[in-house]
Amino acid sequence: MAKKRRRKPKRPETMSCNVEISSIRPRVSLSMHDAEGPEPGVDSHCGLRLRGTMDMSIRGVRDMELRLWADWNHHIGPNRPAYIGYITHTRPEVSVIASCRPADFEYLWSLALSGELKFAYLSFTKPHYGSADVLDMAFSNEAEE
């Protein structure tokens, strides 16, 4: 009887790009929780929506939207390999979502509001059925080399 061969796990192909940021939309929402209860409180959520153009295209698409927010309960989930963001779809634009620790988000927020947030760099797995894992992200006033 022939021995069955196990396939080696295939390492996902990765891609990277620089994004020139063209618009920044900061957002803060405030809401009450337990307003009628014994201990009402205020919930707040901070986020940034960045739009830009990638220096390469994914299936003919170069426009990108990044949605970033502060997550007070930020932790690494059970998925392996772990990733920091997710590409949810690639048409009509590439859409990326990611949460980050509040301290990191505060720095990103200050870059955005001071006008110094000009470029983003992303490294991600090759999109499959329009979605992909984002492995690395960096934000700066200069493009990565």
Selection from 142, 134, 127, 123 nearest residue 100 by Cα: 134
Q: Spell out the alpha helix ranges (H) of the chain.
A: 102-113
- All structural domains of the chain with their residue ranges: 16-24+43-140
Coil, strand or helix at 28: strand
One digit per residue, pLDDT tens: the chain, 145 residues? 566 777 666 677 899 999 999 999 999 999 998 888 898 988 888 999 999 999 999 989 999 999 999 988 877 777 777 789 999 999 999 999 999 999 999 999 999 999 999 999 999 999 999 999 999 999 999 988 7
| DSSP letter string, 104-138 | HHHHHHHHHHTT---EEEEEEEPPBTTBEEEEEEE
Q: What is the pTM of this model?
A: 0.83
